[in-house]
A = this chain, B = another copy of it.
Amino acid sequence: MKPKNALYAQSGGVTAVINASAAGVIETARKHTNRIGKVYAGRDGIIGALTEDLIDTSREPASAISRLKTTPGGAFGSCRYKLKGIDENRAHYERLIEVFRAHDIGYFFYNGGNDSADTAWKISQVGEKLGYPLICVGIPKTVDNDLAITDNCPGFGSVAKYVATSIREASFDVASMSKTSTRVFVMEVMGRHAGWITAACGLAADPEGLRNRDGNFLSETGLKDAFGHSQLGGAGEIVAKLVKDRLKYKYHWALADYLQRSARHIASRVDVEQSYKLGAAAVKLALAGRNAVMPIIERVSNTPYRWRIAVAKLADIANKEKMMPRDFITEDGFHITRKCRTYLSPLIQGEAPPPYKNGLPDYVKLKNTPVPKKLPAFRL
């Protein structure tokens, strides 16, 4: 029997390490050519699947696929596009199956967060309903670290390392200037309601680190960050101005924005490894015939940090949000607890720098050769 092709798609906000998961999928699939034919990628995620805009990853040399492990962003493009339920939007599901059938796609790998787990789950159910055999496996990804069940989410560890490093570095700067100039530094970070990235800033205050000279900087940082995740965006400037108006301190503020989630140059090695292995595990699950599942991370021990891959049902991940536990935040609300530090610290361990060329990170741009279309156009 001719092996079925696979379709891989990236979804939602991209990260410094989502391409490592892509590399895990593609490299693992290439080891099983008896079972998996070509790996196609949706250009701009699920939109590419719907519009039959597919990329033939088999046209990329092994060296280019390997370089995905050190390249940020989404190499095939991503999108924010959530499929409605099959009863509300049957045409989209029928179109997907039509595209899958036209290109002999038997495996679908969807790499994203909670919304994407929902989409993947819906698609996993559609094969049976529409009489098309399909194995659908999710691959976790979100800098927000808010997926249910999994111990942590690929993409988060690298952002955590970036924000903790940045706060530590800026703290050294502010400590130098505080005599005559800036007394408070505010940084606005991502992470939505969940607050995990905000918490990671607390790692900057290593007990041997920054408290000696002027311990209150980090508390102030905690204050602004605490606001930061209750108001999505714009909170940093508001808090910075409060600091000036109410406390009469000179401030500086930074808005890391996309820098934090694209900073592959300071990615966490643990994060890169987990992202790659989850991509590889998704392919192995598919080969084992597991539909409607997602490989996840299970923590085995803290010291030394050990983890392994477990399996969750997409239905149990979809649309759920894991918030910071209250006991990860100190009583006064200004800092993280030891328990939180124990959880976070392993996720930022190790460096995995990209190659540099001419003084800058040397990231790969794939050819992204299109697969010839076979179907009439489809309007979204």
Query: Interface on A for B, CB 8 Å cutoff?
Result: 10, 13-14, 16, 44-45, 47, 71-75, 77-81, 161, 164-166, 168-170, 172-182, 185, 187, 203-204, 206, 209-210, 212-213, 252-259, 261-266, 268, 345, 348-351, 353, 356-361, 363, 365
- Nearest to A167 among chain B residues (CB) is B259
Asked whether, in the complex, the Cβ of A79 is within 8 Å of the Cβ of B180, the reply is: yes
Residues of B within 8 A of A204 (CB): 360
Residues of B within 8 A of A16 (CB): 169
Contact of A253 with B257 at beta-carbon distance under 8 Å, contacts A175-B73, A177-B78 already known: yes
Q: Count identical subunits in the complex.
A: 2
- Nearest to A361 among chain B residues (CB) is B165
Q: How far is the CA of A262 from the CA of B253 in the complex (A)?
A: 13
Asked whether, in the complex, the Cβ of B172 is within 8 Å of the Cβ of A262, the reply is: yes
Residues of B within 8 A of A180 (CB): 44, 47, 79-81
Asked whether, in the complex, the Cβ of B258 is within 8 Å of the Cβ of A254, the reply is: yes
Asked whether, in the complex, the Cβ of A169 is within 8 Å of the Cβ of B262, the reply is: yes
Residues of B within 8 A of A363 (CB): 168-169, 172, 209
Residues of B within 8 A of A264 (CB): 169
Main secondary structure of the interface of A (DSSP, over half): mixed
From B209, B266, B356, B357, give the contact of A365 (CB < 8 A): B209
Residues of B within 8 A of A255 (CB): 253-255, 257
Asked whether, in the complex, the Cβ of B161 is within 8 Å of the Cβ of A79, the reply is: no
Q: How far is the CA of A238 from the CA of B172 in the complex (A)?
A: 29
Contact of A365 with B212 at beta-carbon distance under 8 Å, contacts A345-B358, A345-B359, A360-B203 already known: yes
Asked whether, in the complex, the Cβ of B263 is within 8 Å of the Cβ of A169, the reply is: yes
- Nearest to A179 among chain B residues (CB) is B44
Shortest A362–chain B CB gap in Å is: 9
- Nearest to A186 among chain B residues (CB) is B257
- Nearest to A78 among chain B residues (CB) is B176
Asked whether, in the complex, the Cβ of B81 is within 8 Å of the Cβ of A176, the reply is: no
